[in-house]
């Protein structure tokens, strides 16, 4: 999915670069504008593609009787613990690109926010939903 996102960034950047090229051609804007945007688009896509293995290697989740833990990043590490007794709902979602890739996102909803476990196989997503909801129903509001 991260690679597909990079392709989307490339297409978006190419459209913007093309529009700036047309503006340069028809309205005599400085040529350096579209060259700059073209260069930035290429650099952004290359960086995005280069960090895919990094993102994959350092993205984890774990479910225990007490909480759901989601961790991402190495240099900019983010660890989130969602207490089981705070979980109100678990939903599965898949937009057109995820459906095309036969993947789903697990949305874990609390009163305050929604946390996501993204791009998992449908069977895994269904198992995660069932496991989390079972633990949430068994938890009492005073479990610590």
77 & 37 share domain: no
33 & 77 share domain: no
38: helix, strand or coil: helix
48 vs 7: CA distance, rounded Å? 10
- CA distances from residue 65 to 4, 134, 138 in whole angstroms, order as listed: 35, 10, 9
Mean pLDDT score of the chain, rounded to an integer?
A: 90
Number of domains in the chain: 2
75 vs 51: CA distance, rounded Å? 12
37 & 70 share domain: no
pTM: 0.72
Q: Which of 39, 55, 71 is the last residue of a domain?
A: 55
12 vs 107: CA distance, rounded Å? 27
The two tokens of residue 42 are 């290429």
The region of weakest confidence among 65-74, 113-122, 134-143 is 134-143
């Amino acid at each position: 999915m991260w690679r597909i996102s990079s392709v989307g960034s490339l297409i978006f950047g190419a459209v913007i670069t093309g529009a700036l090229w047309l503006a340069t051609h028809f309205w005599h804007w400085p040529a350096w504008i579209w060259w700059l945007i073209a260069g930035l688009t290429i650099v952004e896509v290359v960086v995005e593609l280069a960090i895919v293995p990094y993102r994959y290697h350092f993205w984890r989740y774990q479910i225990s009787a007490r909480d759901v833990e989601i961790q991402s990043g190495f240099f900019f590490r983010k660890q989130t613990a969602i207490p089981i007794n705070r979980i109100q709902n678990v939903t599965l979602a898949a937009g057109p690109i995820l459906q095309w890739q036969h993947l789903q996102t697990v949305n874990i909803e609390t009163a305050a926010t929604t946390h996501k476990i993204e791009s998992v196989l449908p069977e895994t997503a269904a198992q995660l939903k069932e496991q989390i909801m079972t633990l949430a129903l068994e938890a009492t509001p005073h479990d610590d």
